[in-house]
Amino acid sequence: MAEASKVLQIKELDKSFGGVHAINNLTFDVYEGEILGLIGPNGSGKSTCVNLITGVYVQDKGEILFEGEISLKKQPIEARAKMGLGRTFQTPRPFLDMTVWESVYTIALLYNKTMKQAAAQADQIIEMIGFSNIANTVCHKLPIEKRKWLDMARTLAINPKIMMLDECLAGLNPTEMDSSIDFVRKLNSQGITIVFIEHVMAAVSKLCTRVVVLNEGSLLSQGDPNVVMQEEEVIKAYLGEDYVNAYVKG
């Protein structure tokens, strides 16, 4: 089987905020068609990494290449979105006064040639996520779970090649989590590469074929989630040295 191509190459990336070295010489690849887990303890740099890839922040050093050769460094946020770099936010940001349909349509308008095409795309996305019956509900009335799905729906309106999902399961109950996991799988089966940021390890091992682990802005480990999550250094990063000494080393 031919090796999958690298859709994103993160090379020696660095980003500081004042005295906080949020991303430190970080290098990893994202392969086309995979569901990559981007994991690590709180504050390890996962969201900053997504913000650098999507252009919310500009790196101090290093390079991000898209589809082999396109350097993202000088590309503004809108250009990166047009290339197909989609993301959701750790805290969903729907347009609260709009209806569900309007919220998706507004994004679709930016990525379609005509209003008619944008409306058709909004209809199709809303049907796909099973929101047809609440298409006219005002967003501020939606519970958290539905806001998260709506955030994914709005990202679909940019026709993403990659979707970076920043803790899309946080705050959900187990049933809601399972349906979200199924939905992420469905997106992936439609050809969208997924970068899945999550603290719930059961979800990560269910969904991801590979994980990249960050710690204090650096790459700590990468590989098969079931192998990586057993590594002493990874357990130590999450749970501390005392836990490893007491429970892992015995």
- Chain contacts with ligand ATP (rule: CB under 6 A): 17, 20, 22, 40, 42-48, 90
> 153, 104 in Cβ contact below 8 A?
yes
Q: 59 or 88: whose CB is closer to Mg ion?
A: 88
With CB under 5 to 8 Å by kind, the binding choice for 40 among Mg ion, ligand ATP, none is: ligand ATP
CB of 50 to Mg ion, least distance (A): 8
> 85, 161 in Cβ contact below 8 A?
yes
CB of 30 to ligand ATP, least distance (A): 17
Q: Which of helix, strand or coil describes residue 156?
A: helix
**What distance in Å separates the CA atoms of residue 61 and residue 24, rounded to the nearest whole number?**
9
With CB under 5 to 8 Å by kind, the binding choice for 189 among ligand ATP, Mg ion, none is: none
User: Count of residues for the chain?
Assistant: 250
**What distance in Å separates the CA atoms of residue 55 and residue 73, rounded to the nearest whole number?**
8
With CB under 5 to 8 Å by kind, the binding choice for 103 among Mg ion, ligand ATP, none is: none
Q: 98 or 235: whose CB is closer to ligand ATP?
A: 235
**What distance in Å separates the CA atoms of residue 231 and residue 111, rounded to the nearest whole number?**
43
| 162: amino acid identity, one letter | I
With CB under 5 to 8 Å by kind, the binding choice for 17 among ligand ATP, Mg ion, none is: ligand ATP
Residue nearest to Mg ion (CB): 47
CB of 215 to ligand ATP, least distance (A): 9
Q: Which residue in the set 30, 40, 47, 147 belongs to the binding site for Mg ion (CB under 5 A)? A: 47
> 11, 72 in Cβ contact below 8 A?
no
> 219, 27 in Cβ contact below 8 A?
yes
Helix (H) or strand (E) holding 165: strand 162-166
Q: 20 or 77: whose CB is closer to ligand ATP?
A: 20
Q: 50 or 126: whose CB is closer to ligand ATP?
A: 50
**What distance in Å separates the CA atoms of residue 158 and residue 167, rounded to the nearest whole number?**
20
Query: Which residues, 90 to 119, sit near Mg ion by CB under 5 A?
Result: 90
CB of 47 to ligand ATP, least distance (A): 3
Chain residues binding Mg ion by CB under 5 A are: 46-47, 90
